[in-house]
Amino acid sequence: MDLSLSGEQRQLVESFAAMYARESTSERVRAAEPLGFDAKLWAALVDTGAVEMAVAESDGGWGASELELALIAEQYGRAVASAPVIEAQVGARVLAAAGSGLLADAMAGDQVVTFAPRPSRGDALVLVPGGAVADAVVALAGDRLVVASAGSRDQVANLGSLPLADITVDSAVDGGVTVLADGPDAVRLFSDAVDLWLTLTAAAMVGAAAKALEIGVDYAKQRHAFGTPIGAFQAVSHPLADSAAAVDGARLLAFEAACAFADEPGRVTELAAMAFAFAYETARDATQRALHIHGGYGFGMEGDIQLYYRRARGWAMAYGEPAVALDRAADARYGAVPG
């Protein structure tokens, strides 16, 4: 596996990093709370082609690879961006695979189409990422893969200030439900979409962890105790070093999962789930350590570190505890235990 970036990939990363630096400042992130959606940022992402790039050229998109999507997802995480771009990319991929007529509107940004990584519980989709602002949601309802109107929803207040919502999948509500696939085809398409969502969310959490680590290191250089920068003390420097090593490992695993879509398709599910679990644990620890280094300031809403502390946990909990992802990895490796 070769993880060296081409010149075009480096330019892609730089362009999205610059866009997020302009359009997702910490002030903008705060202004978008508590809903967690910045309409101006979303418009900028659509204009940049963030959704189109996830779709193959044969379907009218730009044909970006999974690795390229993961590279820009890392920049998304560094900016703790307030827009459901990962879910929109995954949703567009599913619409393309199913030949849905909604694809053109989704790519153009005329419709915000999100993706629910949790199957429905009866008629209910729980904690749908982007569900509070979406026009439609792609989801697995029973043995059917559907795209459903998001009109019947209850916004879910959450500490991460994410646009989460519980959505009712009911054919009698607000335009109803369009079936994209059913039976084994539906399960396969949904599982493939979950793999991509886990991989890209893992990359986003790596970005959040890396940026939180930078914030913690900068503060450890500035804050003095007993006439010495606190970063000189082992109780501060060693945890930061542990997080730096973990971030490198989580990034490697996330990119390995992204490369596996083309190089090792038989291992995608296992690697994607592992990458998600490890990235969450890394982001959880890195943000907690960086916040702790700030002392009482870390708990103040005026500090940026709390944005990363809250957002990283919110992204992960939309799917579940790391053990949920690890169960998925174990099932992929050894086979699911009969229920």
Report the predicted TM-score, pTM, of the whole model to 2 decimal places.
0.95
pLDDT above 90 covers a percentage of the chain that reads: 84
pLDDT score recorded for residue 264: 95
> What is the overall mean pLDDT for the chain?
93
Distance CA 70, CA 83 (A): 16
Would you say residue 175 has pLDDT above 70?
no
- Of residues 326 and 337, more confidence is placed in 326
pLDDT band at 227 (very low <50, low <70, confident <90, very high): confident
Closest CA to 277 of 335, 205, 331, 211: 205
What are the strands of the beta sheet with 136-141, ordered from one edge? Answer: 113-115, 136-141, 144-149, 177-182
- Assigned superfamily of 186-334: Butyryl-CoA Dehydrogenase, subunit A, domain 3 (1.20.140.10)
Residue with tokens 């996330």: 254
Q: How many other CB atoms are found less than 10 A from the CB of residue 52? A: 21
Concatenated DSSP letters of 22-53: HH--HHHHHHTTTTT--HHHHHHHHHHTTTGG
Please confirm whether the linkage preceding 84 is cis (ω < 30° from 0).
Answer: no
Q: Is 225 exposed, middle or buried (0-12, 13-18, 19+ CB in 10 A)?
A: exposed
**Torsion sign over Cα 143, 145, 149, 152:** positive
**Per the structure block, which two tokens stand in for 249?**
């490992």
Query: Any idea where the domains of the chain sit in the sequence?
Result: 186-334
Mean pLDDT of 72-86: 98
What are the backbone angles phi and psi of residue 126, rounded to the nearest 5°? -105, 135
Q: Reply yes or no on whether the pLDDT at 171 is more than 70.
A: no
Neighbouring residues of 66: CB distance < 8 A, sequence distance ≥ 6? 196, 199, 258, 259, 261, 262
pLDDT band at 337 (very low <50, low <70, confident <90, very high): low
Indicate the length of the chain as a whole number: 339
CA distance 188 to 197: 14
- What percent of the chain stands above pLDDT 70? 97
Across the chain, how many H-helices and E-strands are there?
A: 11, 9
At residue 338, the pLDDT reads: 62
pLDDT tens track for 233-266: 898 899 999 999 999 999 999 999 999 999 999 9
* Mean per-residue pLDDT, 168-173: 65
